Homo-oligomer: A and B are copies of this chain.
């Protein structure tokens, strides 16, 4: 295997744009024909619903995999459907990995050390049973919540090191209430999320790949270019996972600040506005095939974000 950050850069180069498509399969938005078949074949309950989201995900992955090297799965929408939903989660991960995609499990877990170890084994590592050892969900990386501090991250660091996995620690999230606590100023004038960012830098020191990036990254919402600029300076070696492009409001404008001047260091992520593109402009209200809508949306994002990353490089040349 290879350092996670190096693998990220490899798939970004291969696909030509640093984007991630978010597989947040909310059942109510999944095309009816997929649901009808799944519920007919597997019953009206959680099993049928889980097969519907799995089938939807596979079709989305078939469409987006030429354009994106990374997919992010929001586990909540799988957890919502009970154990069958988690089976769909596992199968989606496997399907994406067979297509050569790097997977991010958006799990946002955080717990005391011996519990965090269980989460790390479940999602990134192996699970030791009585006489056998089995693979867990097997995503390539996960998102984590930092509220419990260093010892809640340590077991994930250990598994990440052993298995060449990646971590993205929540630093500054997209939601309006992220200001409630993340933006509070500490007694030394630094904001709380800056304290977290500095720790992210420390936690990632032992996992730097040959391209100079760490396998320990940070989640930084797309709406905060000035914050991103400050964080870029604070933790240059951290890859930023940047949600909030598309349905959550932000366009590609202003995203330059999330990249380093080598054109790397950020993965721009979009979920609903890609996978449910048929419900958003410019497709909304038109009779566009839903898969064609996905294709058009991901192509547009691919090109906008690739341009942004290029601009970040030119910014460097201008400076010279």
Contact = CB atoms under 8 A, between A and B. Distances in A.
Interface of A: 24, 26-28, 35, 39, 44-46, 48-49, 52, 74, 76-77, 79-84, 86-87, 90, 108-113, 115-116, 118-119, 121-122, 127-132, 134, 136-137, 145-152, 170, 173-182, 184-187, 189, 192, 195-196, 199
Nearest to A244: B112
Kindly report how many copies of this chain are found in the complex they form together: 2
13 contacts: A26-B118, A27-B130, A74-B115, A80-B122, A80-B127, A81-B122, A82-B127, A112-B175, A113-B175, A146-B147, A149-B178, A151-B177, A184-B192
Nearest to A52: B130
A150 B83 contact: no
A132 to B, nearest CB: 5
Sorted nearest first, the 7 A-B pairs with minimum C-beta distance are A149-B180, A149-B177, A151-B177, A83-B83, A150-B177, A76-B118, A185-B187
Q: In this complex, which of A24, A27, A82, A109 has the most chain B Cβ atoms within 10 angstroms of its Cβ?
A: A82
Given A192-B192, A195-B184, A79 B177 contact: no
Given A76-B118, A108-B109, A112-B174, A147 B83 contact: no
Contacts of A122: 76, 79-82
A33 to B, nearest CB: 12
A44 B129 contact: yes
Contacts of A175: 112-113, 148-149, 151-152
Given A48-B129, A147-B182, 18 more contacts: A52-B130, A76-B111, A77-B115, A79-B118, A80-B119, A81-B122, A82-B87, A82-B90, A83-B83, A108-B109, A108-B145, A110-B145, A112-B174, A113-B175, A149-B177, A149-B181, A151-B176, A180-B199
A146 B148 CA distance: 11
Given A39-B130, A83-B83, A187-B185, A149 B119 contact: no
Contacts of A24: 115
Contacts of A173: 112, 147-148
A44 B131 contact: yes
B74 A83 contact: no
Contacts of A186: 184-187
A79 to B, nearest CB: 5
A309 B108 CA distance: 36
Contacts of A180: 146, 149-150, 199
A241 to B, nearest CB: 14
Contact of A83 (B87, B127, B174, B178): B87
A86 B89 CA distance: 13
